[in-house]
Amino acid sequence: MRVLRFDSVSREERASIIDRTPSADVEEDVRPIVEKVREKGDEALRGYTREFDGVEVEEIRVSDDRIEDARDACDDGVLRAVDDAAERIRGFHEKQVRDDRSASENGIEVGRRFVPLGSAGAYVPGGGAAYPSTALMTVIPARVAGVERVVACTPPPVPDATLAALDVAGADDVYRVGGAQAITAMGYGTETVASCDAVVGPGNVYVTEAKRQVRDDDGARIEFPAGPSEVVVIADSTGDAGNIAADMVAQTEHDADASAVLATTDGELARDVADEVERRVEDAERSETMSAATCEILVGDLDACIGFANEYAPEHLSVVTRDDDAVLRRIRNAGSVFLGTNTPVAAGDYATGTNHVLPTGGGARLHGGLNVDDFVRATTYQRLDEEGVERLAETVTTLARAEGLEAHARSVEERLRRQEPEDMKRESDP
């Protein structure tokens, strides 16, 4: 792990730390998968599941009996934790639901209404770990938004805890398929998997690329790229090296492509954190994955630390300083912010109620985390009475003719003419 000073880092080194763009090969690897699933449907899903997961899948949909058995097999403590997390997540997202709005004045009524999407697909990663938390984070907001049909895809073999969480969250159907092929199935549909209006959820670089391709081909709406996990920590001398190292190591646990960066004002803290991270990674169960992740430490003044964080636009940002609120006010780009030494990033991953599906790779410059708005569309409306038409007529006809759109102008004048008394209409007729 490198410990660098901001004032000695070259422009190229800084760019290499900030750039988390996957290689061009990912697009080339994913495109054939997308095309084959669109062409072959369930046959392709079974083939890729055999190839990538080493599992033979006959029934792609998980049966209701299997889900019930999974709940029965779960430890009571796990079920209590799932229920508690679900309640907090549901409560936080219910506060995001928007009310329809309208206003009426002088014969002109305008409004905006929020309509839930008809269907949504949630991707829940698998592989080396179970992610019941992601099941809750992806399905519950869709349900809160009022989406009529919510399905989920997750790689086989599906852990009992994940199935139990999907049941608690309210998924209508669960499919044992993962990777880019799962995203494609939910985006375009197969014989078993019905197409969805939106596809959401985190995943590796292949899942993220598949989401981009599905979106770009008008297969489905996506929330944003949500790829390999990342964290930036801003800390001054008040930071605790053990806590900071624990948060950095925790994010590297997800994926070899994960990244963790400390930006600190204190050189001694930087060295202590570096030692703690190396010790913890060496002793960890997932040491091989964690040691492959990117870890960097940068030292400079607080302005440099904040400027770096805004440029990096991290998925997770931890702030451990004398005045966390002052730093927060200067943060423009971050998926989710964790304030103070007693706020581990893992708390947001599981149980505070905020969503842990967050933009990565710099996506926080444009997006916030997954929320209820990702599952609704806003429709505006307007209604004019006779007074309203009269009030807008001059503005509309003037602008329409300025744009050379005579028929637009006449469509308004037609209404005015119909409102005239009959004798005035006869006088105005040619």
Q: Which residues are annotated as a binding site for Zn(2+)?
A: 251, 254, 349, 408
Residue among 290, 292, 309, 304 at smallest CA distance from 248 = 290
Backbone angle region of 366, left / alpha / beta, with phi > 0 → left and psi within -120 to 50 → alpha: alpha
Torsions phi, psi for 217 (to 5 deg): -95, 15
Q: How far is CA 141 from each of CA 17, 101, 116, 137, 417, rounded to the nearest angstrom?
A: 33, 21, 11, 7, 50
The question of whether 367 is a catalytic residue gets the answer no
**Helices then strands (H, E): number in the chain?**
18, 14
The binding site for substrate comprises 229, 251, 254, 316, 349, 403, 408
Q: Which of 315, 394, 422, 427 is catalytic?
A: 315
The binding site comprises 123, 181, 204, 229, 251, 254, 316, 349, 403, 408
Q: How far is CA 24 from each of CA 21, 31, 215, rounded to the nearest angstrom?
A: 9, 12, 18
The binding site for NAD(+) comprises 123, 181, 204
Q: Please tell me whether residue 229 adopts helix, strand or coil conformation.
A: coil
The question of whether 316 is a catalytic residue gets the answer yes
Q: Which of 209, 223, 316, 356 is catalytic?
A: 316
Residue spans of beta strands (DSSP E) within 316-375: 316-320, 336-339
- Decide if 277 contacts 241 (C-beta within 8 A): no
Rounded to whole angstroms, the Cα distance separating 315 from 358 reads 6
User: Which secondary structure element, helix H or strand E, spans residue 273, and what is its range?
Assistant: helix 267-283
- The residues annotated with a catalytic role in the active site are 315-316
